[in-house]
Amino acid sequence: MTLATLSDVLRPALRDGYAVPGLVCLGWEDMRAYAMAAQAERAPVILQAGPSCRAHTPLPVLGAMMRHLADSVDVPVVVHLDHGYTLDDCRAALDAGFTSLMYDGSRKPLAQNIAETAQVAELAHAAGISSEGEIGFVGYAGGDASAGTNPAEAARFARETGVDAMAISVGNVHLQTDHAGGLDEGRLRAIEGVTDVPLVIHGGSGVPYAQRAALAAGSRIAKFNIGTELRLAFGQALRAAVNADPARYDRVSILKETEPPVTEAARAVIRNLGASGRA
């Protein structure tokens, strides 16, 4: 069993100048591809169950699947709740065997976000696992606009919540399908100047590869969440598998063909963040 907490993998990343990928899972095929990618690259990996994943598959099933995958490889695997919106979400994930809880109170007033995130951090630490919180709001491509993280508020948030990792908004956007944007490094450096907690970038798929690699090596960003670029790889592989033989109907044979391309895409993410060989 190579089950790990968020702190187990982020502390070495921060110390040694790389970042760990938080890979957004939607089903068995992609999460298995991610575990195999981590094994092949000898890298730690964070398997993440976000709201859309949890809407499709119950948390106890997801926890069992991810823990099974952790047991099948010999590199560190974090089983992470992504964007838990209530204390009940976080308790349910804890009960399902998750080793990391991310509470998202980023849409709430600062004092409420701090108080509720601190509750989740206390819950996690009492169980010997890790917690992540979010300060500032990371928006969505074609949807809600971002609200950048205020450095002074970030310092207070880190100090008063006790989180093990802090997600920030510095120009990153969820669901971005290109790499045309880029992070606001001035705001990032201002946040780094007032806190020493490992930092997390949600919406990492939209960050240019070169900037992702540079910040993984030379900033306090220890975790990049990557979902959209891997969803694109899965979708392209699925279409190719279906279109190769329109008469084929067996879902197992069709879905099996998505795993090699998604594994390769995940390996590329791991290498880009400098995490290869770090297990």
- Asked whether the predicted pLDDT for residue 139 surpasses 90, the reply is no
Which pLDDT band holds residue 147 (cuts at 50, 70, 90)? confident
CA angle 75, 192, 8 (to 5 degrees): 20
Q: Using an 8 Å Cβ cutoff, are 104 and 134 in contact?
A: yes
Percentage above 70 pLDDT, the chain: 100
Q: For residue 132, report the phi and psi dihedrals to the nearest 5 degrees.
A: -130, 140
**What is the predicted pLDDT for the residue at 192?**
97
| Structure letter (DSSP) for residue 206 | G
**What is the predicted pLDDT for the residue at 180?**
75
**CA separation, residue 18 to residues 12, 136, 169 (Å):** 8, 24, 20
**What is the predicted pLDDT for the residue at 1?**
54
Q: What is the mean pLDDT of the chain?
A: 95
CA angle 18, 190, 136 (to 5 degrees): 85
Which residues make Cβ contacts (< 8 Å) with residue 61, sequence separation at least 6? none
Query: Max CA-CA distance within the chain?
Result: 60
Which domains does the chain show, CATH number per domain?
Answer: 3-272 (3.20.20.70)
**What is the predicted pLDDT for the residue at 184?**
92
Question: Exactly one of 8, 30, 82, 89 is catalytic; which is it?
Answer: 82
Q: Is 82 a catalytic residue?
A: yes
pLDDT tens digits for 212-267? 999 999 999 999 999 999 999 999 999 999 999 989 999 999 999 999 999 999 99
Tell me the three state secondary structure of residue 21. strand
**What is the predicted pLDDT for the residue at 178?**
80
Which pLDDT band holds residue 141 (cuts at 50, 70, 90)? confident
**What is the predicted pLDDT for the residue at 179?**
78
Report the distance separating Cα 57 and Cα 79, nearest Å. 15
Q: Using an 8 Å Cβ cutoff, are 170 and 138 in contact?
A: no
Tell me the three state secondary structure of residue 129. coil
What is the model's pTM? 0.96
Which pLDDT band holds residue 177 (cuts at 50, 70, 90)? confident
- Which tokens in the block code for residue 165? 């990792």
- Asked whether the predicted pLDDT for residue 145 surpasses 70, the reply is yes
**What is the predicted pLDDT for the residue at 142?**
77
